[in-house]
Structure 1
Amino acid sequence: MSIRCKSVGGGGYRDRVGITVGFDLDMTLIDPRPGMVAVMNALGVESGLPLDGEYFAANLGPPLDASLRGFGAPEERIPELVARFRAMYPETVVPVTVAMPGAAEALHAVREAGGRTVVVTGKYAPNAKLHLDALGLEVDVLVGELWSTEKAAALTEHGASVYVGDHVGDIRGALAAGAVPIGVTTGPCTKEELLAEGADVVFDSLTEFPGWLSSFGEPRG
């Protein structure tokens, strides 16, 4: 599902004008972990299933249905559980979610370069948009419910030449789209794991991204 958000514009670095940069959402731009713990544990109590919110929140990335299967949820109950999770989400998760360090500055850096930002996430797009709106994070396009190499279709469609994410699945998606894969170690994957998957560079946080963008496209060495 794709949602077009408020457009942004601006000046430009000389050879980065017009660049489109893709970002993952959970644990890249936002930290929803406290709310994720709460909503999954509440769903477990309500459904009578052994759902582990702490484990779920510590391993964000894979699709919700895959996580539910991992907890042993019966296949026939997956659709109702997904629907209920999404319904509980806005009041439980959105109010307690915070932006990751450097998130706003990273988006601003792309805007100042005269570029566009595309958020491609595995999250249900309407709930993802609630996060962006609540935190005042303006992006040009939001595409939801895509995971790992599935993200390549949206990145290609919107012309992203860079994709930033915290999971090895994000690196796979970037590579499949022919985009420069950038990793951040703010999620469940280590620097070594992200580099082994093919990340071009790995940051400790998005606070390092504007500096990297300012030299992107310039000759190395």
Structure 2
Amino acid sequence: MYDAVYDADRLVVGFDLDMTLVDSRQGIVDCMQRTLRTRGVTATEQQLWPLIGAPLLDNLALFLPDDQVEDAATDYRADYLVQAIEVTVLLPGARDLVDAIHAAGGKVLVVSAKNPAAVQAVLEHVGITPDIVVGDLFGHDKAGPLSEHHATAYIGDHSGDMHAAGTAGVRAVGVTTGPTDAAALLAAGADVVVDDLAELVPRLADLAAGAPAAK
């Protein structure tokens, strides 16, 4: 039903991963707490929740001396692949939206701050197969692959995702499944904010249109 309406060359939708496509909160918090605890630091879920989606090294540096951050990141990444993948689940509407984009003849691009090995492991676990996957990028740096792959929209739960979309000149779509609320997403440049991805399934034409002319 979508092929007659959408141009496959125009519909290229980028997604953030954590708290946009997948609910990874439990795994991230548990692994961060274990990594910090082995270094004598206690962090609560309330402290860690707002940090989800930001670069790992930056998050660890909030709790640890500089000379411990790299080793802690190595430990976290190893622990994540063992402990966190199985507790990660798709967020509501994620599969429906990805399937609708593919049914329309469009492409799905995942651009995440998470390291590539973890991104691939999470996607394989939840059964999502994007056309392009890029890891280790955050905020404005995500604009590079969005431009390179001619994305028409970028969907994310973090203010940094909205900044990336704005830098790339693509439609910025915020989703409130992460730690950032609608007001903050709009303030960061979101063209539209939804509560879950299912709301976007009937709006593929908007995602294919690119950024609004007035943006």
TM-score norm. by structure 1 comes to 0.88
Q: Distance in 2 between matches of 1:144 and 1:80?
A: 20
Residue 122 of structure 1 is matched in structure 2 by 113
Residue 171 of structure 1 is matched in structure 2 by 162
When residues 40 and 215 of structure 1 are mapped into structure 2, their CA distance, relative to the original with a 3 A threshold, is: closer
Deviates more, 1:169-178 or 1:54-63: 54-63
Aligned counterpart for 1:99 among listed residues 68, 90, 93: 90
Q: How far does residue 55 in structure 1 lie from its aligned partner after superposition? A: 2.3
Indicate the RMSD between aligned Cα atoms, in angstroms: 2.0
Q: Distance in 2 between matches of 1:76 and 1:13?
A: 57
The one-letter code matched in structure 2 to 1:33 is: R
Residue 52 of structure 2 is matched in structure 1 by 60
Q: How far does residue 45 in structure 1 lie from its aligned partner after superposition? A: 2.0
- Per-residue CA deviation, residues 119-145 of structure 1 (Å, 9 max, x unaligned), is 000001101110100110110111001
Aligned counterpart for 1:150 among listed residues 105, 129, 141: 141
Q: Distance in 2 between matches of 1:181 and 1:16?
A: 20
Residue 6 of structure 1 is matched in structure 2 by none
Q: Distance in 1 between matches of 2:35 and 2:68?
A: 12
Q: Secondary structure at the match of 1:108?
A: helix
Q: Distance in 1 between matches of 2:183 and 2:94?
A: 22
Aligned counterpart for 1:208 among listed residues 188, 196, 199: 199
Q: Secondary structure at the match of 2:5?
A: coil
Match runs of 1:1-221 below 5 Å: 12-18=3-9, 19-71=11-63, 73-214=64-205, 216=207, 217=209
Q: Which runs of 5+ in 2 are unaligned?
A: none
Q: Distance in 1 between matches of 2:132 and 2:44?
A: 32
Deviates more, 1:152-161 or 1:57-66: 57-66
Q: How far does residue 193 in structure 1 lie from its aligned partner after superposition? A: 1.1
Q: How far does residue 51 in structure 1 lie from its aligned partner after superposition? A: 3.9
The one-letter code matched in structure 1 to 2:19 is: M
Q: How far does residue 58 in structure 1 lie from its aligned partner after superposition? A: 4.2
Q: Distance in 2 between matches of 1:13 and 1:166?
A: 31
Q: Secondary structure at the match of 1:47?
A: coil
The one-letter code matched in structure 1 to 2:145 is: A
Indicate the percent of aligned positions where both proteins have the same amino acid: 37
Deviates more, 1:27-36 or 1:46-55: 46-55
Deviates more, 1:93-102 or 1:30-39: 30-39
Q: How far does residue 49 in structure 1 lie from its aligned partner after superposition? A: 2.7
List, as ranges, runs of 4+ consecutive aligned residues in structure 1 with deviation greater than 3 Å: 50-54, 214-217
Q: Which runs of 5+ in 1 are unaligned?
A: 1-9
Q: Distance in 2 between matches of 1:121 and 1:58?
A: 16
Q: Is 2:22–2:89's contact at 8 Å kept on the other side of the alignment?
A: yes
- Per-residue CA deviation, residues 195-215 of structure 1 (Å, 9 max, x unaligned), is 122111110100111111145
Q: How far does residue 47 in structure 1 lie from its aligned partner after superposition? A: 2.1
Q: Is 1:34–1:57's contact at 8 Å kept on the other side of the alignment?
A: no
Q: How far does residue 81 in structure 1 lie from its aligned partner after superposition? A: 0.7
TM-score norm. by structure 2 comes to 0.91
- Per-residue CA deviation, residues 40-94 of structure 1 (Å, 9 max, x unaligned), is 11112222233445522343121011111112x1111111111110011112110
Q: Distance in 1 between matches of 2:200 and 2:5?
A: 18
- Per-residue CA deviation, residues 10-67 of structure 1 (Å, 9 max, x unaligned), is 9624343221110000000000111112111111222223344552234312101111
